[in-house]
Chains A and B, each alone.
Chain A
Amino acid sequence: MNPISFVTQMIRIAIPYLFAASGGVVAERAGIVSLTLEGFMLSGAFAAVLGTNYSGSPWVGVLSGVLGGLIFALIHAVATIRYRADQVVVGVAINLLAIGVTRFFLKLFFASSSNSPRVAGFGGNINMAGFDNPLLWLGIIVAPVMAFVIYKTPFGLRVRAVGEHPDAAESVGVSVKRVRYAAVALSGMLAALGGVYLALDQHQFTDQMTAGRGFIAISAVIFGRWDPIRAALACLLFAAAETLQIQLQGSHAIPSQFIEMIPYALVIIALAGVVGRAIPPAALGRVED
């Protein structure tokens, strides 16, 4: 096994996780359960292909992809913050909605239920192994940037406050609702970038192409105990397990099913409190009056 190809493949696999997990951390730190990452990613992927297809520019695709994630995030925010619906239930609904909506528009715009036509994208130089894709570099820096935002900026302080103790935040004049709206919107846009990366790397959208990556990202958020950097490391760990599974498969040394279960087994171990206690933000999922 070549170490350079291992690391480059691991990073390529980790990028969608890194974007989505950063989004998950922001929303959950503000007290909103982020089961929706999968749906945000999928809508981002589709909107990116739509934008790229009609403009010819992948950068327009990035913008429309982010917008796609934002729309779904706002639906989620309105339902859970304004109408105080159960966040888990709405989250599941958003994911199903994203599958249905993207499939519907796939048929409407591209007359296919399986995939869009090929569109422009990033990268493509064989010798660069995917590292000529600007989104990949954005994905690498997103976690440190989010760590700065959450720990060093007034906005980050408010996010943490409304997630831990909304009443206290409210009492000093912070609008809990407004901060949560902003956090969920940011989370939708970040997670959408994960989907945008996937779609533009493939140069097309295929039905349900995110294939559960949003749920792996959620696992990374929990495994990383709601800290952007630790969540990013968890993403890299999961990506490493996947890369190992790809590169060891076929050698028949270890059954692929075994390596495939590693990320999930790790999450269960983390939740069981073996590696330090996993304490979620105190107000996570609580409905405010």
Chain B
Amino acid sequence: MRKLILVTSLLLAVHIALLFTRRSAKAEGKETSSVRIGIVLDVGGRGDKSFNDGAYAGADSATRMLGSNIRFIEPGEGADREAGLRLLAAEGMNLVIGVGFIFTDDLANLAKEYPNTAFAGIDYALATDANGNVIPPPPNVAALKFREEEGSYLVGALAALVGHSKKVGFVGGMDIPLIHKFEAGYRAGVKKVCPDCQIIAQYAGVTPDAFKNPGKGKELALSQYNQGVEVIFHAAGSTGQGVFEAARATNKLAIGVDSDQNDEAPGHVLTSMVKGVNTVTFDAISRVQNHTFKGGIYSFGLKEGGVGYIYDNRNRALIPDSVHARVEELKQEIIAGRIKVPSSR
């Protein structure tokens, strides 16, 4: 038993020591820039084909175009998220970015401990007080938020115009307000172009597992397609992989989310509602670089290029020109403020 404790504590010590290792200065590359940026990725790290890859792409272009000096931390499961942020803040980074709403509380706490460091949270979740007023983030935190409902509105219109069955589907991941935003925008978009269309909206579950359950996603999608739905929009993380699989199996269409998901089922992906995580990351870095960084709430919608939908050579064949023109028209109306897209059900 004593031996076991000894071995365990030894391994623990090595583990902790490794947490503090860093690349040698020689490998750091561009040392010319004095501005140093730290980014903590969400669980999964690089290669998630979504948020983390988006943040990485944004940071990568900042390195190339602005010469920023960027360091990444990929935390494992659980509590070392906060440790990652703290490490970067303690090293005196000029800007520390947390990728994903999950960092919200950690960012808010650390920002108070390091008032001279700039922090940014992608998808930062704003709390509200008892009267429903939004509590602003600490003064050195930029809450980078997306108006997902605007992009969802456009793909909703697209789904209703491309399908012929008067039925469109929606598969959400976890049943929470963040995902309700997608549903609300989607519904409004469908109703705008097809007032008598029926929308079948379903969620994969009420726990975080609901974002990682492709088996459930496939069954939800199959049951919707069986009811006559022709296009399904998913906002469900990897549960959406099951939606694509069902679209393949039944030869119907699905709409991707967050990033261009055409590769998941070529020929069956009508379009994708994309979030410009790369744009937003780049924007935050360039603000720090130009010394124009200010805390507060930043909202990115169609106007700022924070959300959008994919229309390129790979899906052009699925979208008639007249439909594309109509959706572009709606996009301009939203940008001009003539259409207000609801963000809750």
Contacts and interface: CB of A to CB of B under 8 A. Distances in A.
A113 B212 contact: no
A5 B226 contact: yes
Interface in A74-119: 96, 99-100, 103, 107, 111-115
B218 interface: yes
B241 A206 contact: yes
A198 B207 CA distance: 20
A9 interface: yes
Contact of A211 (B47, B77, B206, B216): B216
Contact of A115 (B216, B219, B241): B241
B49 A112 contact: yes
Contacts of B191: none
A204 interface: yes
A164 B302 CA distance: 66
B220 interface: yes
Interface string B196-211: 0000111101110110
B238 A250 contact: no
Given A207-B238, A212-B209, A249 B202 contact: yes
B49 A202 contact: no
A81 B339 CA distance: 67
A96 B77 CA distance: 10
A201 B203 CA distance: 21
A121 to B, nearest CB: 9
Contacts of B35: none
B304 interface: no
Contacts of B46: 113
Interface residues of A, number: 39
A198 B215 contact: yes
A38 to B, nearest CB: 11
Given A112-B47, A115-B238, A206-B241, A9 B223 contact: yes
Nearest to A197: B215
Contacts of B48: 112-114
B308 interface: no
Nearest to B201: A250
Contact of A246 (B175, B214, B220, B249): B220
Q: Report the interface size class on chain B.
A: 35 or more
Nearest to A112: B47
Contact of A5 (B175, B201, B223, B249): B223
A280 B45 CA distance: 42
A179 B210 CA distance: 38
Interface in B295-335: none
A99 B245 contact: no
A80 B205 CA distance: 34
A79 B210 CA distance: 32
B33 interface: no
Contacts of A115: 49, 238, 241
A247 interface: yes
A246 B47 CA distance: 31
A209 interface: yes
B105 to A, nearest CB: 23
Contact of A203 (B49, B175, B245): B245
B236 to A, nearest CB: 11
Given A9-B219, A16-B215, A114-B50, A256 B44 contact: no
B242 interface: yes
Interface string B78-114: 0000000000000000000000000000000000000
5 contacts: A114-B238, A201-B218, A246-B220, A250-B202, A256-B175
Interface of B: 44-50, 52, 76-77, 175, 200-203, 205-207, 209-210, 212-216, 218-220, 222-223, 226, 238, 241-242, 245, 249-251
Interface of A: 2, 5, 9, 12-13, 16, 96, 99-100, 103, 107, 111-115, 124, 126, 198, 201-204, 206-209, 211-213, 242-243, 246-247, 249-250, 256-257, 260
Chain A to chain B: the 4 pairs with minimum beta-carbon distance, closest first: A211-B213, A113-B44, A206-B238, A112-B47
